[in-house]
Chains A and B, each alone.
Chain A
Amino acid sequence: MSLALEVAGVYKFFGDFPALRDVSFKVAPGSVVALLGRNGAGKTTLLRIMAGLSQPSQGSVKVNGAEAREAGTRRRIGVLGHSISVYDELSAHENLTMFGSLYGLDDAGKRADAMLDRVGLGRVRDGLAREFSRGMRQRLAIGRAFLHDPELLLLDEPFTSLDDKAIAVLQTMLKEMRDRGRTVVMSTHQLREAMELSTHVTFIQRGEVAYDGERQDEMLKDTSWLYRTYGDN
């Protein structure tokens, strides 16, 4: 069975500073990986490389055996970054239809309607994103990332600054993804939510992989166990 994701010998330098050093790990299909580490450890840099938003200085990232920057590969990936990445001057429906078209969905309009209902924005589908509250905009961003039913979902601190409704929507959708055998990689500081959802944990320490393996029971009982055991302070 081919791997959902394979990160092999990835280095990333910003000038002389090595943000990532020889990062390698493999993710099997259907896994939910919590990508953990302190601020500045290199989680966002690594996720951006996996999403094809940045090139590694050295090494490779393969999704289902293909390069991350190939168009066919990007069609299989959903990305939810720090920012919401939706257009303020477009309506909720226009935003999702636009991204649906870019992903080659023939029924982009219908899929957008269905997704807006799922994230609780069906009644305001024609409202401009700039008129939405912060929580509504975050739910729209979640809808954008899930719209094309990605096989691999990359999430960068997805729970940060979400309101309770958006957290509930995201948790439900992530559990559905997991149950349907989709693969999820998420960086987060919300250890409780991450441990409950994840099947695997990759812990990054100063740009290097300090732990990569299945989620242990100790991690669920004591969320700081990983940092105490594998961290350097």
Chain B
Amino acid sequence: MYLRQIWTIAAKDLRSEMRTKEALNASVAFSMVILILFSFAFDQAEDLKGLLGGLLWLAYAFAGALVLNRSFARELQNDCLDALISSPAPPSAIFLGKALANFALLMAVELISLGVFAILYDVRLSGKLGLLSLVMLLATWGITVIGTTFSALTVNLTMRELMLPVLIYPFLIPVLMSAMILTTDLIAGVPIATNLVWLRVLVAFDIAFTAVTVLYIDVVLVG
């Protein structure tokens, strides 16, 4: 029953987004623009290889905020959030359903952007995609959990589009730092074994924040 409720909410969010493509189109376009602007800005940089992970994850983080902003804002129309909260679905199932949908959307944006990134910055991804995918999955889940939580917290604020990024980026520092270092080193061909500590940071962050949010999300949604 619990898993069915999570899946129902995730499927609902994905279906709604696929029909409007509001967040997806905006996020992909924004990510492309950032990557193109960075490519101009750092064209003459001496150690561009050392910046690649940072550039990629900054683009993901900025573009991802557009997807995350829509998550609970989607429920404001017609007061749908009331119908969800008054249903038997536990607040944690509502949260996890929304987080799953956000995760799928963010991964889609990231995969599209990754192809453009590889072309613009002349990065060869062959042989590195497996580990890079692992880093993307772990870091994206971290971004998703924090972003979905703060999307619920800021849903009734008039300045929520501004407030969400302001609130989530400080919390995302461990995730972004780990992802940037791991991605830079993976692209440079540094063995992952030398960076296991950053992989552990990602795993610990994901577990800790998912557990805390699942336990306390009812306070956010119901008060």
User: When the two chains form the complex, which single residue of B5, B15, B82, B222 contacts A102, counting CB atoms closer than 8 Å?
Assistant: B5
List A contacts of B85 (CB < 8 A). Answer: 52-53
List B contacts of A2 (CB < 8 A). Answer: none
User: When the two chains form the complex, which single residue of A54, A55, A72, A90 contacts B12, counting CB atoms closer than 8 Å?
Assistant: A90
Within 8 A of B (CB), among A114-150: 128, 144
List B contacts of A128 (CB < 8 A). Answer: 19
Is the CB of B39 closer than 8 A to any CB of chain A? no
Docked-complex contact B222 and A71, CB < 8 angstroms: no
List B contacts of A144 (CB < 8 A). Answer: 83
Q: Are A87 and B86 also in contact (CB < 8 A) when A81-B79, A101-B5 are?
A: no
Within 8 A of A (CB), among B119-150: none
Docked-complex contact A53 and B82, CB < 8 angstroms: yes
User: When the two chains form the complex, which single residue of B4, B16, B86 contacts A77, counting CB atoms closer than 8 Å?
Assistant: B86
Query: Given the complex of chains A and B, what is the CA–CA distance between A77 and B88 in angstroms?
Result: 9
List A contacts of B8 (CB < 8 A). Answer: 98, 101-102
Q: Are A99 and B87 also in contact (CB < 8 A) when A85-B80, A87-B78 are?
A: yes
List B contacts of A87 (CB < 8 A). Answer: 12, 16, 77-78, 80
Docked-complex contact B80 and A74, CB < 8 angstroms: no
Within 8 A of A (CB), among B1-46: 1, 4-5, 8-9, 11-12, 15-16, 19-20
Is the CB of B89 closer than 8 A to any CB of chain A? yes
Is the CB of B196 closer than 8 A to any CB of chain A? no
Q: Mark A82-120, 1 if CB is under 8 A from B, else 0.
A: 111111111000100011011110000000000000000
Q: Are A71 and B88 also in contact (CB < 8 A) when A54-B222, A54-B223, A87-B12 are?
A: yes
Q: Are A71 and B90 also in contact (CB < 8 A) when A86-B78, A87-B80 are?
A: yes
Docked-complex contact A90 and B16, CB < 8 angstroms: yes
Q: Mark B158-171, 1 if CB is under 8 A from A, else 0.
A: 00000000000000
Is the CB of A62 closer than 8 A to any CB of chain B? no
Docked-complex contact A89 and B5, CB < 8 angstroms: no
Is the CB of A69 closer than 8 A to any CB of chain B? yes
Task: With both chains docked as a complex, state the minimum distance between the C-beta of B114 and any C-beta of chain A, in angstroms.
Answer: 28
18 inter-chain pairs at a CB distance below 8 angstroms, sorted by A residue, are A51-B82, A53-B222, A54-B222, A71-B90, A74-B86, A74-B87, A79-B83, A83-B82, A84-B79, A86-B80, A88-B78, A94-B15, A98-B12, A99-B87, A101-B5, A102-B5, A102-B84, A102-B88
Interface residues of A (CB under 8 A from B): 51-55, 69, 71-72, 74-75, 77, 79, 81-90, 94, 98-99, 101-104, 128, 144
Q: Which 10 A-B pairs have the closest CB atoms?
A: A83-B79, A85-B83, A89-B16, A101-B8, A75-B88, A102-B87, A71-B88, A74-B88, A79-B86, A89-B19
